[in-house]
Amino acid sequence: MNNTKIIQSPKEFWKASRNNEYLKSTSGVAPGYVQTNLAVLPKEYAFDFLLFCQRNPKPCPLLEVMEPGQPEPKILAEGADIRTDIPYYRVYKNGKLTEETKNITEYWSDDLVSFLLGCSFTFETAMLNANIPLRHLEQDTIVPMYITNIQTTPAGIFSGPMVVSMRPIHKDNLVRAVQITSRFPATHGAPIHIGDPKGIGIENINLPDFGERAEIKGNEIPVFWACGVTPQVVALKSKPSIMITHSPGYMFITNERDESIAVL
Amino acid sequence: MNNTKIIQSPKEFWKASRNNEYLKSTSGVAPGYVQTNLAVLPKEYAFDFLLFCQRNPKPCPLLEVMEPGQPEPKILAEGADIRTDIPYYRVYKNGKLTEETKNITEYWSDDLVSFLLGCSFTFETAMLNANIPLRHLEQDTIVPMYITNIQTTPAGIFSGPMVVSMRPIHKDNLVRAVQITSRFPATHGAPIHIGDPKGIGIENINLPDFGERAEIKGNEIPVFWACGVTPQVVALKSKPSIMITHSPGYMFITNERDESIAVL
């Protein structure tokens, strides 16, 4: 495989990941196809986690939940294998990161339930298509993320604060940015908050809890979206015996088109 | 309580239901507040049922799922008691209707999980507000419902065909009807199908499987929406030891406003 060529189709991406031939970030891969976060948990946690996602759709927009032990995302990615078709995975035991690995076949069991959650790549593409620039892409940095004082709605053993991502938006683009992201409730949807970091418990906008600082220029307003890191932070807090996720930036790619999950 | 006065608030409705002082259909009660279907199942079925709803959001738009044994819908109806605050309930044992009752206190246990699902009253109000007439309301009949050849996406023990409701819409109102109902994904959302009953397995439009016939006049097109009867039919097919629902037409009323669950 020639790594300089951009992979255009999900199937090609699954195969390259499976053979450890593609080991880079999935940003820009298979353009127009929905990319997702992955969270794998033992069945004993699955009802509470599913309920947590149902109650907190903005940080946890569920796209597919697979039956216990089922490694094929039959609805969104027929033919893929969730155990091998992502470049890098992270394995957590009792809430602690124990390994980063290229496949999770050795950890797999009939007891594991896989959750695919929408990721912001989808609405970011839509904003770029509307000529709304995104600072972290201009800077080639990781989007800044913050732990807020907004509490998620607890479910069973899961609870905790919402994590948000921040993108500086020029005031002339503010309405359009709200409109565009509102079309994608399956990938975090409309902003959670506009304009006042302190109002949601962020003391210093220049010191994100995850990711990297993004400069806010004159005439730009900080806009905050619910972030897919939330369910991961919340789940790890409950110290499950095992939890497996994708590695940050190395997403799963589905066979679904971005526009097919848009509302209106 | 004076039954000739229309109840305006959910709290007043809960109290009247609890005291068996209000025993009529909830159509028109507490206008502007979201009414819901109720399904109560033992915990052993809860994960599969939650997954079924997640995979079939159009027939099964989940608004709230309560923790096992929890009778208060804390998110949508703080202060209400799901065991007493609906005028009539239906109790099914092993898939068979065994009782219609004014409260379910004697059946309650810590093992029961309650699901509140969006109902079409919300989008029907929105259509009436836009001057789109609805035949079953003009005729004072029950909306016609049909078992289709569209299969739901199975989840665990639950599977089966989708049930749809039909409303004849004048061709000049067709676009607007799609737009308006699209704003309410939490109450079945956009139509499933427009125009060809046979195409979705309905042999005789004048012989609905549930509800009553609705006349289709010249220049009217039959429009089909996913129906909340679907999860009930699907769940009963699996013959759970116990399942409790509201009685048809006697819905639960939440503290949430219709417009607050609309998208855009």
CATH of the domain at A227: 3.30.2040.10
Q: What are the CA-CA distances from residue B229 to residues B43, B98, B146, B245 (Å)?
A: 21, 18, 10, 11
Each residue's pLDDT, cut to its tens digit, for chain A (264 residues) gives 444 578 999 999 999 999 999 998 898 899 899 999 999 999 999 999 999 999 999 999 999 999 999 999 999 999 999 999 999 999 999 999 999 999 999 999 999 999 999 998 889 999 999 999 999 999 988 899 999 999 999 999 999 999 999 999 999 999 999 999 999 999 999 999 999 999 999 999 999 999 999 999 999 999 999 999 999 999 999 999 999 999 988 999 999 999 999 887
**Tens digit of each residue's pLDDT (9 = 90 or more) over A3-12:** 457 899 999 9
Q: How far apart are CA B127 and CA B124, in angstroms?
A: 5
Residue to test with chain A: of B65, B184, B260, most A Cβ within 10 A = B65
Same structural domain, A150 and A214: yes
pLDDT of B28 reads 84
Q: Is A90 helix (H, G, I), strand (E, B) or coil?
A: strand
Contact between B263 and A182 using a beta-carbon 8 Å cutoff? yes
Q: Which DSSP category does A75 fall into? A: T
| β partners of residue B38 | B116
pLDDT of B6 reads 84
User: Nearest 5°: CA angle at A186, between B53 and B175?
Assistant: 85
- Residue A264 with chain B: CB contacts under 8 Å: 179, 182-183, 263-264
Same structural domain, B249 and B165: no
Same structural domain, A18 and A92: yes
Q: How far apart are CA B181 and CA A30, in angstroms?
A: 33
Considering only CB atoms, B65 lies closest to which of A54, A67, A183, namely: A54
Burial A70-98 (b: 16+ CB within 10 A, else e): ebbbebbbeebbbbbbbbbbbbbeeeeee
Average pLDDT value for chain B: 94
Q: Is B121 helix (H, G, I), strand (E, B) or coil?
A: helix
| β partners of residue A68 | none
Q: Quick one: how far is CA A139 from the chain centroid?
A: 20
> What are the backbone dihedrals phi and psi of residue A192, each rounded to the nearest 5 degrees, phi first?
-85, -30
pLDDT of B1 reads 46
Same structural domain, B207 and B218: yes
CATH number of domain containing B87: 3.40.1640.10
Same structural domain, B107 and B136: no
- Residue B153 with chain A: CB contacts under 8 Å: 75
In degrees to the nearest 10, what's the CA dihedral of A134, A135, A141, A144?
-90
Same structural domain, A178 and A107: no
CB A53 within 8 A of CB A140: no
Q: Take residue A86 and report the two structure tokens written for it.
A: 């992502």
Q: Is residue A1 part of a domain?
A: no
CB B197 within 8 A of CB B157: no
Contact between A54 and B62 using a beta-carbon 8 Å cutoff? yes
Task: Count Cβ–Cβ pairs < 8 Å, chain A vs chain B.
Answer: 46
Q: Is residue A40 part of a domain?
A: yes
Nearest CA in chain B to A45: B47
Same structural domain, A25 and A57: yes
pLDDT of A1 reads 46
CB A252 within 8 A of CB A77: yes
**A-side interface with B, Cβ within 8 Å?**
46-47, 50-51, 54-55, 62, 64-65, 67, 75, 153, 155-156, 179, 182-183, 185, 263-264
- The shortest C-alpha distance from A47 to chain B (Å) reads 5
pLDDT of A150 reads 97
Contact between A62 and B54 using a beta-carbon 8 Å cutoff? yes
Same structural domain, A23 and A53: yes
Full residue range of the structural domain in which residue A142 is found: 129-231
Looking at the structure of chain A, the number of domains it has is 2
**Tens digit of each residue's pLDDT (9 = 90 or more) over A63-85:** 999 999 999 999 999 999 999 99
- Say yes or no to pLDDT of B232 above 60: yes
pLDDT of A2 reads 47
Nearest CA in chain A to B185: A263
Same structural domain, B66 and B148: no
Query: Strands, E, within chain A: which ranges?
Result: 33-42, 62-65, 89-93, 96-101, 112-118, 145-151, 161-170, 193-194, 220-226, 242-246, 252-257
Residue B84: half-sphere exposure toward Cβ, Cα within 13 Å: 14
**Tens digit of each residue's pLDDT (9 = 90 or more) over B143-168:** 999 999 999 999 999 999 999 999 99
Q: Is residue A98 part of a domain?
A: yes
Q: How far apart are CA B37 and CA B115, in angstroms?
A: 8
- Say yes or no to pLDDT of B253 above 60: yes
- Residue B64 with chain A: CB contacts under 8 Å: 55
Same structural domain, B133 and B222: yes
- Classify residue B70 by burial, with Cβ atoms within 10 Å: 0-12, 13-18, 19+: middle
Same structural domain, A196 and A225: yes
- The shortest C-alpha distance from A46 to chain B (Å) reads 8
pLDDT of A4 reads 54
Q: How far apart are CA A122 and CA A263, in angstroms?
A: 13
Q: Is residue B4 part of a domain?
A: no
CB A234 within 8 A of CB A162: no
Secondary-structure percent of chain B, ordered helix, strand, coil, rounded to 5: 25, 25, 45
Contact between A182 and B65 using a beta-carbon 8 Å cutoff? no
Residue A4: half-sphere exposure toward Cβ, Cα within 13 Å: 0
Nearest CA in chain B to A47: B47
Q: How far apart are CA B115 and CA A172, in angstroms?
A: 43
pLDDT of A71 reads 97
- The shortest C-alpha distance from B212 to chain A (Å) reads 32
> What are the backbone dihedrals phi and psi of residue B62, each rounded to the nearest 5 degrees, phi first?
-70, 125
Q: Quick one: how far is CA B69 from the chain centroid?
A: 22
Q: Is residue A162 part of a domain?
A: yes
Q: Is the dihedral of CA B147, B151, B157, B163 positive or negative?
A: negative
Considering only CB atoms, B50 lies closest to which of A54, A67, A153, namely: A54
Same structural domain, A115 and A244: yes
Q: How far apart are CA A81 and CA A72, in angstroms?
A: 5
**Tens digit of each residue's pLDDT (9 = 90 or more) over A117-135:** 999 888 999 999 999 999 9
pLDDT of B24 reads 87
pLDDT of B66 reads 96
Q: Is residue B183 part of a domain?
A: yes
**B-side interface with A, Cβ within 8 Å?**
46-47, 50-51, 54-55, 62, 64-65, 67, 75, 153, 155-156, 179, 182-183, 185, 263-264
Q: Take residue A170 and report the two structure tokens written for it.
A: 């020029």
CB B230 within 8 A of CB B60: yes
Q: Is residue B33 part of a domain?
A: yes
Q: Is residue A3 part of a domain?
A: no
Q: Is B125 helix (H, G, I), strand (E, B) or coil?
A: helix
User: Nearest 5°: CA angle at B119, between B73 and B198?
Assistant: 150
